Amino acid sequence: MDILERLRHRIDVYSKTQAKTEFGEITYDYHKTQTIWAEILPTSGKIEDIDGQSIRADVTHKITVRNGAIKEPRNDMYFEFKGQKYEVLYFMPHYRRNDLIEFYTKLIIETEGDY
């Protein structure tokens, strides 16, 4: 399959930026830096019961982008696609195609009850 056919998901990239508060303290916040084309594939999933009659689900995805689409890839960034947040765990070059980078991410599900 051609690379242009595989990169069919339009995702937003969020990076951590440093800022100063009105009191001169340094703080960090996430800001949308760009929107790029990517391929999103689920890689694994796990469900387990935890205390308090709750269930925890861990779902990981591989997000593939063109090399150079993200100027400074880092582990402290995250992606957003259709309202879902994908936190970067690690990234590495695609070993068969040196023009791609693979990001391994964890799907973060946030609800109003989390706040």
Distance CA 75, CA 14 (A): 11
**Residue 1 reports pLDDT greater than 70:** no
Reported as a single tens digit per residue, the pLDDT across 87-114 is 999 999 988 888 899 999 999 886 655 5
Reported as a single tens digit per residue, the pLDDT across 19-43 is 888 898 999 999 999 999 999 999 9
**Closest CA relative to residue 102, chosen from 63, 61, 59, 60:** 63
Measuring CA to CA, how many Å separate 23 from each of 19, 20, 26, 30? Answer: 11, 8, 9, 20
Domains of the chain: 3-109 (2.40.10.270)
Residue 64: other Cβ atoms inside 10 A? 19
- Residues whose CB is less than 8 angstroms from the CB of residue 58 and which lie 6 or more positions away in sequence, other chains included: 44, 45, 46, 47, 106
Mean pLDDT for 69-78 is 93
Please provide residue 21's backbone torsions phi and psi, each rounded to the nearest 5 degrees.
Answer: -80, 175
pTM (two decimals): 0.83
- pLDDT score for 115: 41
Tell which wins on pLDDT, 5 or 70.
Answer: 70
Stretch among 17-21, 46-50, 65-69 having the lowest mean pLDDT = 46-50
